[in-house]
Structure 1
Amino acid sequence: MTAELGARIRELREHGGQSLRSVASAAGISPGFLSQIERGNANATVSTLRGIATALGLTTADLFGDDDLTASRVLRRADRSELPTGGRSKKYLLSRRPLRNLEVYCGELAPGEGTGDPYTHGEAQEMFLVVRGQVEVSLDGTLYRLSDGDSIEYRTDVPHTARNLGTDVAEVLWIISPPHRG
């Protein structure tokens, strides 16, 4: 199990484009010790595994998965993970864990509702796409009105929010790259 777990950690780290040194530092261990774990030459405590998982932006359970990171992954509509929104709107994570090169969400914004107060999250590129509806996007206080098929790109460290201006449910997508790790 040690060699399989180590190989899985290395695969997840490399697939996420993270260096041995950066993951070790974030996990609070030495690069040499992480290298030994990845080669199956050292055992890690549960605490160390939690630290490695957090550094990789994963859960500890993700370290023990057996999914092929290069394989296609199908997500059925009924199997989507719904995120709490606190209202009549809905938001779903479409990207399967462990996250690869991007993070994708779809949402249904109820009439008059939105994503709340302007917020930021990490340092990535985000594309917001209106699949159907009339949505107002605020980027650092500047307002943009988007309709069916319109999109806007921005950095996630810019305060942003979206609100449905229409009388019907608006369908939207958020596409973020690289995915939030942590």
Structure 2
Amino acid sequence: MNASHFDIDVGGRLRELRIRHGLSQRALAKRAGVSNATVSMVEANRMSPSVSGLRQILSGIPFSLSEFFAEARPPAEQVVFRAAELKEIGGGKISYRQVGSNLEGRSLQMLHERYKPGAVSGKAMLSHQGEEAGLIIRGRMVLEVDGARYELAAGDAYFFDSRKPHAFRNVGEEDLELVSACTPPSF
């Protein structure tokens, strides 16, 4: 049995269970009918036990194989993000509320954006690797991409290569609200 095959730390998991049940390595080994060295090497991940070997060690706790691996599963990936769970990464005249707080290893970033009247995405044009798209929910925006200017209103959308210099500006009298996505995450 290979720990990486199950994508868990078998040794660390065994150590955590043993300690949780108030057993020393020696006591667990005696109860399971294995050597103290076996328990020690499995916990240090210097030895990967066979299925039957792990079952025998777990009998000293007692704990079944299915319980051992069921409890070791990582928490389920979050699929739904309620409005209150969106992470604010902006501030001031522009609000960027990101879907998901940790985008490490992700290839997509999705934002709920709000621009106050007159707000602009920055003094300098933006440019970054990837692609960008968005849908205007309400308000009016001027989008500049690679020297071309476009005015968009509620219901309009955009999609462009974000390596091209670009900027966003709220040109309306009310808040501009849009949902955008970019790959890879840019901030």
Please state which band the TM-score falls in when normalised by the shorter chain. Answer: 0.5 to 0.7
**Quick check: which has more Rg, 1 or 2?**
2
Distance 2:102 2:96 in 1: 16
Name the counterpart of 1:66.
Answer: 74
Q: RMSD of the alignment, in Å?
A: 3.2
Aligned pair partner of 1:136 in 134, 142, 146: 142
Equivalenced residues, count: 123
Matches within 5 A, 1:87-98: 87-98=92-103
Aligned in 2, Cα 1:181/1:166: closer, same or farther, shift over 3 Å?
A: closer
Name the counterpart of 2:128.
Answer: 121
Identity %: 24
Aligned in 2, Cα 1:152/1:68: closer, same or farther, shift over 3 Å?
A: same
Distance 1:145 1:67 in 2: 44
**Unaligned stretches of 5+ in structure 2?**
9-44, 47-72
1:106 maps to 2:112: yes
Name the counterpart of 2:83.
Answer: 77
Contact 1:80–1:94 (Cα < 8 Å) also in 2 = yes
Distance 1:144 1:181 in 2: 22
Higher relative contact order (CA 8 A, sep 6+): 1
Contact 1:95–1:102 (Cα < 8 Å) also in 2 = no
| Aligned residue type for 2:171 | L
**Unaligned stretches of 5+ in structure 1?**
9-39, 42-64
TM-score, structure 2 normalization = 0.56
Contact 1:134–1:148 (Cα < 8 Å) also in 2 = yes
